[in-house]
Amino acid sequence: MVDSLSWQQPIIWLAEIMRPHNKEIVLAMIATLLVIFGDVINRTLRHIVRKQPVWLRIGAFIALCAFGYGAISVWLTPILASFLLSQSATVYVATIVLSFLCVGIMAERFQKSK
């Protein structure tokens, strides 16, 4: 039992340091995903409203940027933050590290595909 706890001590220590900043970590993750996929979302909206009058296209873009992206950030942050806080220290740290690695890989691949 002592051996299994010894390798977990650094992870537990790291989780204790990270947990007070959980909401900021989650918000950074969500914001990064929105930056990565924002261009695709904007292009899709532009395609949907391309035949509408200019005032409607501008209004849709403003609504998406001001309310859509903001609502996604405000709504998803507490949900994901509470999910992460309910995890054990090992799962908490592993989830955050792996999530940021995946987001980084997605950003790299998405940038190369342009």
pLDDT along the chain (114 residues), means of 10: 72 94 96 91 94 95 92 95 96 96 90 73
Q: Which residues contact 63 (CB under 8 A, 6 or more apart)?
A: none
3 state DSSP class of 4: helix
What confidence score (pLDDT) does residue 17 get?
A: 96
Question: What is the rounded distance in angstroms from the CA atom of residue 93 to the CA atom of residue 13?
Answer: 10
What confidence score (pLDDT) does residue 114 get?
A: 66
What confidence score (pLDDT) does residue 7 get?
A: 82
Q: What is the pTM of this model?
A: 0.82
What confidence score (pLDDT) does residue 64 get?
A: 94
| Pick from 22, 42, 40: nearest CA to 30 | 22
Burial 36-48 (b: 16+ CB within 10 A, else e): beeeeeeeebeee
What confidence score (pLDDT) does residue 29 get?
A: 94
Chain-centroid distance of CA 86 in Å reads 18
3 state DSSP class of 104: helix
Yes or no: say if 26 and 77 are a contact pair by the CB < 8 Å rule.
yes
DSSP 53: -
Question: What is the rounded distance in angstroms from the CA atom of residue 77 to the CA atom of residue 31?
Answer: 10
Per the structure, the complete domain to which residue 12 belongs is given by 2-113
Report how many domains make up the chain.
1
